[in-house]
Chain A
Amino acid sequence: MRDIAIVGFSQRQMKEFDGSPTCVELLVPVFADLFEQTGWTKSDIDFWCSGSSDYLAGRSFSFVSAVDAIGALPPVMESHVEMDAAWALYEAWVKIQTGEVDSAIVYGFGKASAGVLRRTMSLQLDPYTVTPLWPDAVSLAGLQARLGLEQGAWDEQAMAEVVARSMTDATTNEWAIRKGETTADDVLAQPVYADPLRRWDCAPVSDGASAMVIAATGKAETAANGAAWITGFQHRIDTIAMNGRDLTASPSTRLAGEAAGTDGVDLAELHAPFSHQELILRSELGLADDVRINPSGGALTANPMFCAGLNRIGEAAQQVWSGNSQRALAHATSGPALQQNLVLTMEARA
Chain B
Amino acid sequence: MSHTLAAVIGVGQTHHRAKREDVSIAGLLREAVDRALADAQVTFDDIDAVVVGKAPDLFEGVMMPELYLAEALGAAGKPLLRVHTAGSVGGSTSIVAASLVEAGIHERVLTVAFEKQSESNAMWALSVPVPFIMPVHAGAGGYFAPHVRSYIRRSEAPNHIGAIVAAKDRQNALKNPYAHLHNADTTVESVLASQMLWDPIRYDETCPSSDGACALVIASEAAVERSDIKNPAWIHGTQMRSEPTTAAERDQVNPHAGREAAAALWKQAGISSPIDEIDCAEIYVPFSWFEPMWLENLGFAEQGDGWRLTEAGETALDGKIPVNMSGGVLSSNPIGASGMLRFAEASLQVMGEAGEHQVDGARKALGHAYGGGSQFFAMWVVGSDKPR
Q: What is the distance, in angstroms, from B339's C-beta to the closest C-beta of chain A? A: 13
Q: What is the distance, in angstroms, from B379's C-beta to the closest C-beta of chain A? A: 12
Most buried by A among B2, B67, B83, B96: B67
Contact A75 B242 (CB under 8 A): yes
Q: Does A148 contact B (CB under 8 A)?
A: no
Q: Does A255 contact B (CB under 8 A)?
A: yes
Chain A 47-88 interface mask (CB, 8 Å, partner B; 1/0)? 010000111001111011101100011111111111100010
**Residues of chain B within 8 A of A72, CB atoms compared:** 242-244
Q: Does A175 contact B (CB under 8 A)?
A: no
Contact B105 A80 (CB under 8 A): no
Q: Given A82-B84, A237-B80, is A94 in contact with B241 using a C-beta cutoff of 8 Å?
A: no
In the complex, A251 Cα to B102 Cα: how many Å?
28
Contact B242 A340 (CB under 8 A): no
Q: Given A81-B82, A237-B80, A238-B76, is A124 in contact with B67 using a C-beta cutoff of 8 Å?
A: yes
Q: Does A282 contact B (CB under 8 A)?
A: no
Closest to A120 in B: B63
Q: Interface segment, B122-130, B145-153, B199-207, B360-368? A: B122-130
Q: Given A237-B80, A251-B77, A340-B80, is A53 in contact with B244 using a C-beta cutoff of 8 Å?
A: no
**Residues of chain A within 8 A of B55, CB atoms compared:** 60
B83 contacts which of A55, A64, A80 (Cβ < 8 Å)? Answer: A80
Q: Does A206 contact B (CB under 8 A)?
A: no
Could you tell me how many residues of chain B have their Cβ less than 8 Å away from some Cβ of chain A?
A: 63
**Residues of chain A within 8 A of B31, CB atoms compared:** none
> Total A-B pairs in contact (CB under 8 Å)?
179
Closest to B239 in A: A77
In the complex, A240 Cα to B70 Cα: how many Å?
7
Q: Given A54-B58, A76-B242, A94-B100, is A99 in contact with B2 using a C-beta cutoff of 8 Å?
A: yes
CB proximity to B under 8 Å, residues A296-314 = none
Q: Does A232 contact B (CB under 8 A)?
A: no
Q: Does B99 contact A (CB under 8 A)?
A: yes
Q: Does A147 contact B (CB under 8 A)?
A: no
Could you tell me how many residues of chain A have their Cβ less than 8 Å away from some Cβ of chain B?
A: 62
Q: What is the distance, in angstroms, from A234's C-beta to the closest C-beta of chain B? A: 7
Contact A236 B57 (CB under 8 A): no
Contact A55 B103 (CB under 8 A): no
**Residues of chain B within 8 A of A78, CB atoms compared:** 240-242, 376
B56 contacts which of A60, A74, A131 (Cβ < 8 Å)? Answer: A60
**Residues of chain A within 8 A of B61, CB atoms compared:** 123, 127
Q: Given A53-B57, A55-B63, A340-B67, is A73 in contact with B244 using a C-beta cutoff of 8 Å?
A: yes
**Residues of chain A within 8 A of B241, CB atoms compared:** 75-78
Q: What is the distance, in angstroms, from A83's C-beta to the closest C-beta of chain B? A: 6
**Residues of chain B within 8 A of A81, CB atoms compared:** 81-84
In the complex, A90 Cα to B100 Cα: how many Å?
10
Q: Does B247 contact A (CB under 8 A)?
A: yes
Q: Which residues of A contact B (CB under 8 A)?
A: 1-2, 48, 53-55, 58-61, 63-65, 67-68, 72-83, 87, 90-91, 94-95, 97-100, 120-121, 123-128, 131, 234-241, 244, 251-252, 255, 334-336, 339-340
**Residues of chain B within 8 A of A255, CB atoms compared:** 77
Q: Does B285 contact A (CB under 8 A)?
A: no
Contact A244 B85 (CB under 8 A): no
Contact B63 A121 (CB under 8 A): yes
Contact B57 A97 (CB under 8 A): no
Q: Given A60-B128, A94-B105, is A127 in contact with B77 using a C-beta cutoff of 8 Å?
A: no
A60 contacts which of B63, B79, B125 (Cβ < 8 Å)? Answer: B125
Q: Does B75 contact A (CB under 8 A)?
A: yes
27 A-B contacts (beta carbon < 8 Å): A1-B104, A54-B56, A55-B58, A55-B63, A59-B128, A64-B86, A72-B244, A73-B243, A74-B260, A76-B241, A77-B241, A78-B241, A80-B84, A80-B85, A82-B57, A97-B99, A100-B3, A123-B61, A123-B62, A123-B63, A126-B68, A127-B60, A127-B62, A127-B65, A237-B67, A238-B70, A239-B70
Contact B64 A53 (CB under 8 A): yes
